[in-house]
Amino acid sequence: MSPSYLAQDPTLADFGRDPWWLVLGKIVFAFAFGLLATLLGVWFERRVVGYMQVRPGPNQVGPFGLLQTLADGLKMAFKEDILPKAADKVVYFFAPTISVICAVTALSVVPFGPMVSIFGHHTPLQVTDVPVAVLLLLACSSMGVYGIVLGGWASGSTYPLLGGLRSSAQMISYEVAMGLSIVAVFMTAGTMSTSGIVAKQAHGTQLSIGGFDLPAPGWYAILLLPSFIIFFIATVGETNRAPFDLPEAESELVAGFMTEYSSLKFALFMLSEYVAMVTMSAVTTTLFLGGWRAPWPITIWDGANSGWWPMLWFFGKVIALVFVFVWLRGTLPRLRYDQFMRLGWKVLLPINLVWILVLSGLRSIEDWDTRGKVIAVGIPAGILLIATIFWPSRKPKPQPTTQEQVDNRPHGSFPLPPMDLQVPPSPRITRVVAEREPANIVAGSDSREV
């Protein structure tokens, strides 16, 4: 078989050798992918949510309403650009661009496919890759916080400032859970290079249990299922998507940090949200879903991971994750802020720490013999099982009845309404009841019933 039809994983040595026009073409492609995916993502979300709510959604402008997002963008561009009087003009102008640039920059280290031939040059379908590429992804997502908090502060208004602080606390909190989830990927893959992580998921792994070698899938979404679930929840919170879209506070009836923005600046903030959603879907695909490699049973075909076909599988996985984002928005109600922060700090973070501890323990005993592995795993598992069985349960205290609550009220408390829902007569109203004596009429002989 010709080498051009064989799937070839790029390595770090394959980057930095392309001519300038090929590098520029890759950059333009990544930027165009982010913008085009955002335009189609807005249309996709409105159509899917409309289908879930049994209504058509946008269907007038263009075929199937595909040009509705473009029409909305043009309409927003021609709207009046209002600048608040107390705003810091420089920071107010650059805050939306920070969010968009950080979201698009993260696509530079995302692999879209294997090694291909472009006009005679053998090059990977990726802008660039570095030994710490995943740290670059975390840095880009962290820098997006600056655009939000600066946009709220530079508006010179109270509600945008509160929304910016609320959003920045939200993003920072879930950044911790996201980073710990990626630690499990580092430990399993042994590299921080995105192309290397995709290459490590190419083949299934072998699990040795009881002396038997059992095949296991190569996708980290299955091998590292707790990390995958926590990472995806953290990405939803990181991108301010429903049910974690807490910048739009219902009690304030405002749009959070972008309340004072209008026209194209408002459009940039909205664009950054959708670009971040597409970018995080691409990052999740790279880290946990095998990247550009085809899923089973497509892998039965020998040429599934060769040439330009892997881009199709990559885009299909990204679209599937974007659908999950939309599905969450159309299904779950918005959380309260305290519930949201409690989920991040008291649920996701402890579970992630315990999972990493367990995973590191399993990695450290890989070279042991079967007996040592059974002892090392069985003793902690037995202790945990016994502790779970004999752990004292908290029985809820019996709730006092309504009459007991009334009887235990302190002296001098406010009067209570009647518990039986029957309103007694007012003591200020006196009723005079006329009592009549029965009439004693003797019936005569000619009496008749009237």
Looking at the DSSP assignment, which residues form a beta bridge with residue 121?
118
Taking residue 212's Cβ as centre, other Cβ atoms within 10 Å add up to: 9
160/167 Cα distance (integer angstroms): 10
User: How sure is the predictor about 209, in pLDDT bands with cuts at 50, 70 and 90?
Assistant: low
Digit-coded pLDDT (tens) for 140-168 = 888 888 888 899 899 888 888 888 888 88
The residue whose two tokens read 């408390």 is 413
User: How sure is the predictor about 241, in pLDDT bands with cuts at 50, 70 and 90?
Assistant: confident
* Residue-wise DSSP of 178-212: HHHHHHHHHHHHS---HHHHHHHTSS-EEEEETTE
The residue whose two tokens read 């590098």 is 23
Task: Give the model's pLDDT for residue 412.
Answer: 79
C-alpha distance from residue 415 to each of 389, 391, 402, 404, 426 (Å): 48, 45, 15, 15, 14
Q: Alpha-carbon torsion 338, 341, 343, 349, what sign?
A: negative
Taking residue 361's Cβ as centre, other Cβ atoms within 10 Å add up to: 12
pLDDT beyond 70 at 446: no
229/251 Cα distance (integer angstroms): 30
436/289 Cα distance (integer angstroms): 93
Q: What is the pTM of this model?
A: 0.81
347/237 Cα distance (integer angstroms): 14
**Is 370 or 137 the better-scoring residue by pLDDT?**
137
The SS3 call for residue 310 is: helix
The residue whose two tokens read 């006009």 is 119
Q: In this structure, what token pair is assigned to residue 292?
A: 């550009």
Task: Give the model's pLDDT for residue 318.
Answer: 94
The residue whose two tokens read 């076909």 is 309
Taking residue 101's Cβ as centre, other Cβ atoms within 10 Å add up to: 17
Q: In this structure, what token pair is assigned to residue 69?
A: 């997002």
pLDDT beyond 50 at 5: no
Residue 243 preceded by cis peptide, ω within 30:
yes
pLDDT beyond 70 at 6: no
Digit-coded pLDDT (tens) for 98-127 = 888 888 899 999 999 888 888 888 899 999
Task: Give the model's pLDDT for residue 298.
Answer: 83
The SS3 call for residue 213 is: strand
Ramachandran category for residue 256: left, alpha or beta (phi over 0 → left; psi -120 to 50 → alpha)? left
Phi and psi at residue 212, to the nearest 5°: -110, 140
User: How sure is the predictor about 250, in pLDDT bands with cuts at 50, 70 and 90?
Assistant: low
pLDDT beyond 80 at 442: no
327/434 Cα distance (integer angstroms): 73
Helix axes 133-154, 263-288, angle to 10 degrees: 160
Least confident segment among 253-267, 343-357, 408-422: 408-422
Digit-coded pLDDT (tens) for 355-376 = 998 888 888 877 777 777 777 7
**Is 438 or 131 the better-scoring residue by pLDDT?**
131
Q: Which of 29, 286, 259 is nearest to 167 (CA)?
A: 259
**Is 289 or 367 the better-scoring residue by pLDDT?**
289
* pLDDT above 90 coverage of the chain, percent: 27
pLDDT beyond 70 at 71: yes
Within its chain, how far is the Cα of 150 from the centroid? 23
pLDDT beyond 80 at 304: yes
Residues 6+ apart with CB under 8 A from 149: 164, 165, 167, 168, 257
- CB-CB contact of 181 with 231 (8 Å): yes
Q: In this structure, what token pair is assigned to residue 239?
A: 């991108």
- CB-CB contact of 290 with 197 (8 Å): no
Task: Give the model's pLDDT for residue 208.
Answer: 58
Task: Give the model's pLDDT for residue 302.
Answer: 78
